[in-house]
Amino acid sequence: MSLRLGDTAPDFTAETSLGTVNFYDYLGDSWGVLFSHPADFTPVCTTELGRTAALREEFVKRNVKPIAISVDGVESHNNWITDINETQDVSVQFPIIADEDKKVSALYDMIHPNASETVTVRSVFIIDPAKKVRLTLTYPASTGRNFNEIVRVIDSLQLTDQHKLATPADWEQGNDCIVTPAVPTEKAKELFGNVNEVKPYLRYVNQPK
């Protein structure tokens, strides 16, 4: 059964490019981004892993730990990392899971038989500190993932977990937010200051600092 939003992310212990890793222990009290790759030495995934490494400081600021997975082995992963570092001008410091037996892929429903019987699809899971799945995305093999969007979603989740707000289409850090329907307008004014009431159900406020 596929994972749904709000489900508890399955725990696992696996061999990785950084040694044996228990997923829950690795995350600790951090957010996590788990993303899968069909195989090592694939061109699109090489750029994605490079982009993830380049965003290291952005992830650290948000208390987020990335972890990747591919069905190839540890030795292959380490050789691939050498290529990634060279071609993308980065230093990959997060683990890549060696899922040769596809156990983790099965836990996270990463094998889609109508796409391929043998390799993982290119999925993304954002997992919060309570180990709940907060976002799932699955990309076609030909389209590289948008890591700006992944960071944007993390920003939105962390903001809206803290405040009774939602974020509108194309929202980015610093843009106005939307008051959730459960909050009366007078209460929203107490919480957030000025409220721009376009419609009774569509009310904008400045993003809290």
For the annotated catalytic residues, the residue numbers are: 45
Six token digits for residue 37: 């790759």
Per-position DSSP letters for 29-87, written without gaps between them:
TSEEEEEEESSTT-HHHHHHHHHHHHTHHHHHHTTEEEEEEESS-HHHHHHHHHHHHHH
Q: In 58-209, which ranges are E strands? A: 64-70, 96-98, 122-127, 133-139, 165-166, 177-179, 196-199, 202-205
As a dihedral over the C-alpha atoms of residue 199, residue 200, residue 201, residue 207, rounded to 10 degrees, the angle is: 80
Q: Residue 83: phi, psi to the nearest 5?
A: -65, -45
Q: Are 197 and 183 in contact (CB under 8 A)?
A: no
β 96-98/31-37 pair status:
unpaired
